[in-house]
């Protein structure tokens, strides 16, 4: 039986490794690659699953992700998040849950970037599991690749 890595390219393997790395180390590596080998950095960005990609998640999958995420992690992760991610997640929450989230964010106060990245990392681990189980779909890139109910 052939190895599962035979048909994979090196960039795909590197992307998998970077997904498991500490977010700060992964970002540093990507920044350094962008300076020395911009084409490779561009290809890696296309393959890496980031917190901002949640803005392109399907409603049912995002609802499942929210159920599996603690309020504290969500509040931490949303500090400084893009407007697109905030809107996508809020669109899949009840008004009561949004109010609870606002209260938790206010209660947390200022936090270290490392805490925020750790919370995002935990959420992304859950999101990756949901993607693998085909319970969450991320539609980024080509507009002709839309999901149809």
Same domain, 75 and 37: no
The reply to whether 36 falls in a domain is: yes
Same domain, 14 and 67: no
Using alpha carbons, select from 62, 71, 55 the residue that is nearest to residue 130. 62
pLDDT tens digits along 93-108: 999 999 999 999 999 9
Q: What whole-number distance in Å separates Cα of residue 123 and Cα of residue 133? A: 15
Number of domains in the chain: 2
Task: Give me the domain span that covers residue 115.
Answer: 51-142
The reply to whether 3 falls in a domain is: no
CATH number of the domain where residue 86 is located? 1.10.220.30
pLDDT tens digits along 16-65: 888 778 777 888 888 898 899 888 888 887 778 889 999 999 999 999 99
The reply to whether 105 falls in a domain is: yes
Q: What whole-number distance in Å separates Cα of residue 49 and Cα of residue 99? A: 28
- For the chain, what percent of residues have pLDDT higher than 90? 56
Q: What whole-number distance in Å separates Cα of residue 62 and Cα of residue 75? A: 15
């Amino acid at each position: 039986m052939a190895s599962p890595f035979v048909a994979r390219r090196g960039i795909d393997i590197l992307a998998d490794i970077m997904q498991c790395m500490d977010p700060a180390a992964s970002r540093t590596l990507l920044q350094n690659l962008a300076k020395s080998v911009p084409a490779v950095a561009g290809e890696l960005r296309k393959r890496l699953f980031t917190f901002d990609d949640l803005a392109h998640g399907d409603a049912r999958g995002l609802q499942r992700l929210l159920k599996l995420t603690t309020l504290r992690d969500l509040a931490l992760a949303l500090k400084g998040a893009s407007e697109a991610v905030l809107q996508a997640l809020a669109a899949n929450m009840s008004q009561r849950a949004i109010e609870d989230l606002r209260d938790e964010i206010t209660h947390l106060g200022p936090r270290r970037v490392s805490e925020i990245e750790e919370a995002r990392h935990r959420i992304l681990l859950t999101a990756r599991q949901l993607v693998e189980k085909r319970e969450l779909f991320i539609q980024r890139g080509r507009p002709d690749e839309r999901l149809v109910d």
